[in-house]
Amino acid sequence: MAHRVAIALIGLLAAASGFGQTYDILLKGGRVIDPANRIDAVMDVAVAGDQIARVTRDIPSEQAKRVIDVTGYIVTPGLIDLHAHVYGYSGALWPDDTQLTTGTTTVVDCGGSGWRTFDDFKKTVIDRTGTRVFAFLNIVGKGMVGEQAENDVADMSPEKTAAKMAEYPDLIVGIKTAHFARKGYAAVERAVEAGKLSGKPVIIDMRITTEYDRTTQRIFEIMRPGDLRTHSYSDHQVELLDRSTRKIHPFVREARRRGLLFDVGHGNGSFIFPVASDAMKDDFAPDTISTDLHNSSIFTTKSDMPNVISKFLHFGMPLGEAIEKSTVRPAKVIRKFPELGTLGEGRVADIAVFKLQEGLFGFTDSRLRRLLATRKLEAALTLRAGRLVFDQDGLAFPDWRSAGDYEIIPAP
Ligand SMILES: [Zn+2]
């Protein structure tokens, strides 16, 4: 009987403690960096359901069901990786494994699917992942499935590409062209034509520029303001920098002035330390930070979002700017701002928590050269639409010593 009363009492106490708890999760005491709202300060972030409910100083712990102490950590909007591979391409990775574990809540698949394969992409990946997945649709109808398909100009239909984009205007955010190993500008022209028909941006990879009798200047002329060039810090064709002066080519600066955007797209073969170093010294930071993460780069250059951000921190980019180029800027490029890329109150609670480690850390680039740096950004915790999906340090859980007695397991 006494036992039953005690249980009832516990129930009452639980109900009482629930009273006034407006928030489901409270991230307490972290350094909040939310460039969209010009915030870089120690603040609390309260989440209710799948939304950010409040961002301010000193939200009382009693108002939340679950309080997570993130003192000493950095709290940002969930990162947006503008260039990764999660479908079609042979090196595609399941995004939850590689993105949610690195503070990245949104990923854009960069050309894995074309208009012929997008429905399958949606059914097998987009509809099934915890990560929010968008697509740059390949101008090739079959998508990024190998050289033969990717060189097939007859399968590059701006009309059919734009028609598929009109069918899924929320999911398909632009067009990709890549790996075109034939002469001429057909791939770029058709991708831009699809961009004009759909009113969306085109992202162009490095190899399509100066190989095969093409010039970067001509490509830039075809591109429109808001279109992107990815793999910017590769020097396969020495495009950004003049090798003799190690300065940015004037025509590259002119392209930026005209509104062309420069994305990182680190990957396995597209990020070289001296190029990034010289470009940063000559005031040519990227517009957007992205990984080009696939099944090779995840092992060689380990280029997930915090890794790429850490490299730019080393080359002099302030942390706030790196976060901006991994949140607000990509959200704007894919026309998802302010729905994404901010910790604004009422926005979806896609939130990343990082630690900025100090010490001595080794990084590698596409030539597998080593860089020693003194800071390293590491993902600690990820919320996706208010749900705790990753917690590297067990921040959300009670200390083991406060968790009560041993659970006695009877001997067999
Ligand atoms: Zn790629």
Domain with residue 136: its CATH number is 3.20.20.140
Ligand 1 centre distance from Cα of residue 265 (Å): 7
Cα(293)–Cα(296) distance, rounded to whole angstroms?
8
Domain presence at residue 20? no
Ligand 1 center to 312 CA (angstroms): 19
- What is the Å distance from ligand 1's center to 205 Cα? 8
**What token pair was written down for 94?**
């399941």
Residue 290: inside a domain, yes or no?
yes
**Residue 83 falls within a domain, yes or no?**
yes
Residue 11: per-residue pLDDT: 40
* 202: in domain: yes
Is 171 a member of any domain? yes
Residue 51 Cα to ligand 1 midpoint, Å, equals 32
Yes or no: say if 172 and 135 are a contact pair by the CB < 8 Å rule.
yes
pLDDT of residue 216: 87
Expressed in angstroms and rounded, the spacing between residue 110 Cα and the centre of ligand 1 is 6
Q: How far is the CA of 61 from the centre of ligand 1 (A)?
A: 44
Find the 82 Cα to ligand 1 centroid distance in Å.
10
| Centre of ligand 1 from the C-alpha of residue 4, in Å | 62
Cβ neighbours, 10 Å, residue 253: 15
68 within a domain of the structure (yes/no):
no
Q: Is 40 inside any structural domain?
A: no
Question: Residue 57 falls within a domain, yes or no?
Answer: no
User: How far is ligand 1, taken at its centre, from the CA of residue 376, in Å?
Assistant: 24
What is the 12 CA–ligand 1 centroid distance (Å)? 56
pTM of structure: 0.93
CA of 185 to the centre of ligand 1 (A): 19
Q: How many domains are there within the chain?
A: 1
Tokens representing 162? 């734009």
For the chain of 412 residues, list the mean pLDDT of each consecutive stretch of 10: 45 48 96 98 98 98 97 98 96 96 98 98 98 98 93 96 98 95 91 98 81 84 96 80 92 97 94 96 98 91 96 98 98 98 98 98 95 98 98 92 69 70
- Please check whether residue 268 is in contact with residue 241, taking contact to mean a CB–CB distance below 8 angstroms: no
For 138, the domain range is 79-336+360-366
